[in-house]
Structure 1
Amino acid sequence: MTTTGAEATNVIQIIVFVPVSIPDDQRSTFEQALGQFLFGFDRVRPELREPLAAVGVDFNHLALLSQKPQIGVCPSPGALEFIPSDAVAEVCRRHGIELTSGGTVQVGFTYDTYGDSRTPPSDALEIKLKLPRVVYQEASDSPGLVADIVEALFGDCQLAEPARAYLRAHGVNLTEIAAHNVKRLGGPNVPFTSRVSPEVHSYLAETGFNLDQFGRFDVKSVAQVNAGVSWTKATCC
């Protein structure tokens, strides 16, 4: 994401309200792991490898198909492809923001949001979204536009379409597979997918950040981009 207009910018900022207590000397590692969660992709948990194999599904191939599809507009390896909805693309076009020339997503972490007076939500990770001024002005009056931007950044909390097509071809319903393997997953409320590797999932669980709680990202507020965030990820469009 880059710009041609004087008031536009190629930066989106995300402030994450951390719902657990993390010691100062562990925050850098925690933030890198949480970043992998934020920008991860949904993949089926390895606990379901055997039940899926029993119905003819190759788990390794399913994992490969579950990776975020790349549309090939990004020259930088490992960068996040910001794929806009029609509404986001129209706002960018109107304000001279070019979506294929690169930019950054900057992530900051706030550790003192919750305390005696306020407890974190049990089923969501709260974030603040900071947008370029021209986009913010439109998004502040349009929840739908905010939702589109959030989905472009974080995905739609579903397996990638090639993975879903592969399961459909095998006649497999993951919800049914999970329902018959509750003990393998660890309980009836445990999702059958995860956005990160088992190693990152275990690390975050050890810090008290239970990924299974956070079924959605809630945008607590929307603001205009400013300075002062710590973790960055390149975007290309």
Structure 2
Amino acid sequence: MKSQQEGKDMATTRTEVTNVIQIIVFVPISIPVDERATFEQALGEFLFGFDRVRPELQEDLTAAGVDINHLAMLSRNPQIGVCPSPGALEFVPTDHLAEVCKRHGIDLTSGGSVQLGFKYDTYHGGGQPPSDALEIKLKLPRVVLQEAEASSDLVEDIVRALFGDCQLAEPAKAYLRAHGVDLKEVAARNVDRLGGPKVPFTSRVNPEVHSYLSEQGFNVDQLGRFDVNAMAVVNAGVSWTKATCC
């Protein structure tokens, strides 16, 4: 996935049509209309971000011999090198998902689109959003949806390919292990710095984005999971898209 592209027509070839996934986020807070573009940009970074160690723990990590800059580099999701676009977020399938795509002629290396839209009025009628989750719906290619309806594992595979697994990348974990660092122990020593025992020791966004979302009332620390439903039809405007090359 690469830079934002608004209004790009992805229906010109069969590959583009079958490789389109639409993500609809049900926003659990009230956002003024004139603030929504900035909010959506920040929320997109949250959704597609990678987990990194919080800056509040850097002092302890440095004392243990950890190079913070090197740890940050290792925390980025490793690239497998099939995307020609520099810095693209790769859609890496599991064996099961790759088999389904191959069976239906979906080429994961030839391009596609992930379209991100937002619904701001879902909870205005008195409905209560989940206290610890962000509700999301996926509009999948119909041939994939038919298989996903028969297999919850396939939906989980797609969610993991899109959003990661909310864990530090394996190279970062290995680097910390080599220094004898247990992040749980480090976090326990820095509860006050983190802001409480329930605050995770990693974040999916940088401190500036985290601060902005918090100011808007969107507590990223509170949303411990994504509640995702797959469906064929979604009625919501597409705010922007990310192109996928694999």
**TM class by shorter-chain length?**
over 0.9
CA contact (8 A) 2:84 2:245 kept: yes
Structure 1: 5+ residue stretches without partners: none
CA contact (8 A) 1:11 1:225 kept: no
Which runs of structure 2 are paired with 1:138-217 in the superposition (5 Å)? 138-217=147-226
Provide closer, same or farther for how the CA distance between residues 63 and 165 of structure 1 changes in structure 2, counting only shifts above 3 A: same
Quote how far apart the aligned CAs of 1:6 are. 8.2
Provide closer, same or farther for how the CA distance between residues 11 and 191 of structure 1 changes in structure 2, counting only shifts above 3 A: same
Quote how far apart the aligned CAs of 1:180 are. 1.1
Deviations 1:80-115 (A, max 9, x none): 200001110000010010111111100100001113
Q: For this pair of structures, how many residues does the alignment match?
A: 236
How much is the aligned-residue C-alpha RMSD, in angstroms?
Answer: 2.0
Provide closer, same or farther for how the CA distance between residues 43 and 96 of structure 1 changes in structure 2, counting only shifts above 3 A: same
TM-score by length of 2: 0.91
Number of the residue aligned with 2:75: 66
Q: Which moved more, 1:226-235 or 1:62-71?
A: 226-235
Quote how far apart the aligned CAs of 1:202 are. 0.3
For the residue of structure 2 that corresponds to 1:233, the secondary structure is: strand
Number of the residue aligned with 2:231: 223
TM-score by length of 1: 0.94
For 1:58 and 1:35, how far apart are their aligned partners in 2? 28
Number of the residue aligned with 1:110: 119
For 2:216 and 2:15, how far apart are their aligned partners in 1? 43
Deviations 1:26-53 (A, max 9, x none): 0000000000000000000001010111
| Paired amino acid for 1:42 | D
Deviations 1:62-92 (A, max 9, x none): 1111011111111123322000011100000
| Paired amino acid for 1:236 | C
For the residue of structure 2 that corresponds to 1:211, the secondary structure is: coil
Provide closer, same or farther for how the CA distance between residues 6 and 45 of structure 1 changes in structure 2, counting only shifts above 3 A: closer
| Paired amino acid for 2:97 | V
For the residue of structure 2 that corresponds to 1:150, the secondary structure is: helix
For the residue of structure 1 that corresponds to 2:242, the secondary structure is: strand
For 2:57 and 2:50, how far apart are their aligned partners in 1? 17
CA contact (8 A) 1:74 1:236 kept: yes
Are positions 1:95 and 2:111 aligned together?
no
Quote how far apart the aligned CAs of 1:7 are. 11
| Paired amino acid for 1:176 | E
Provide closer, same or farther for how the CA distance between residues 6 and 217 of structure 1 changes in structure 2, counting only shifts above 3 A: closer
CA contact (8 A) 2:16 2:111 kept: no
Identity of aligned residues (%): 76
| Paired amino acid for 1:222 | A
Are positions 1:46 and 2:55 aligned together?
yes
